[in-house]
Copies of this chain bind each other. A is one copy, B any other.
Amino acid sequence: MTSIKDKKVITIGIVHEMTGLSERKIRYYEERGLVFPDRTPRGTRKYSFSDIELLMEIANKREEGVQTYEIKQDLNNKKKKEEYRDEMIRGQLNAQFNIRK
């Protein structure tokens, strides 16, 4: 589930380089609850490769005029759907397991 892509190790300057987004925007999307970087002991933000992909998706949506709040809703829906699907699968596996007992 968690791979190297989810390790939070990239500082905001590099994220800026990679995405082309201003640091202001990157911090703002965090403020609006769209991205969740880790922090070093002294507060420097650390992002993962997945975060960078996410930021680029956000940038695309923003270009289409989608507001941060809606983007957030979409992201949450996507997450909920995935969780629901995973739970269904788990349920099916358990059912199979119980039948064979």
Q: How large is the interface on A (under 10, 10 to 19, 20 to 34, 35 or more residues)?
A: 10 to 19
Q: How many copies does the complex hold?
A: 2
Question: Which residues of B sit under 8 angstroms from A49, Cβ to Cβ?
Answer: 4, 7
Complex interface: chain B residues within 8 A of A11 (CB)? 11, 14
Q: 1/0 per position for A13-46, CB-CB distance to B under 8 A?
A: 1100110000000000000000000001000001
Contact A17 B40 (CB under 8 A): yes
**Any B CB within 8 A of the CB of A5:** yes
Residues of B within 8 A of A7 (CB): 49
List the B side residues contacting A56 at CB < 8 Å.
none
Which residue of B has the minimal Cβ distance to A5?
Answer: B4
How far apart are A3's CB and chain B's nearest CB, in angstroms?
Answer: 9
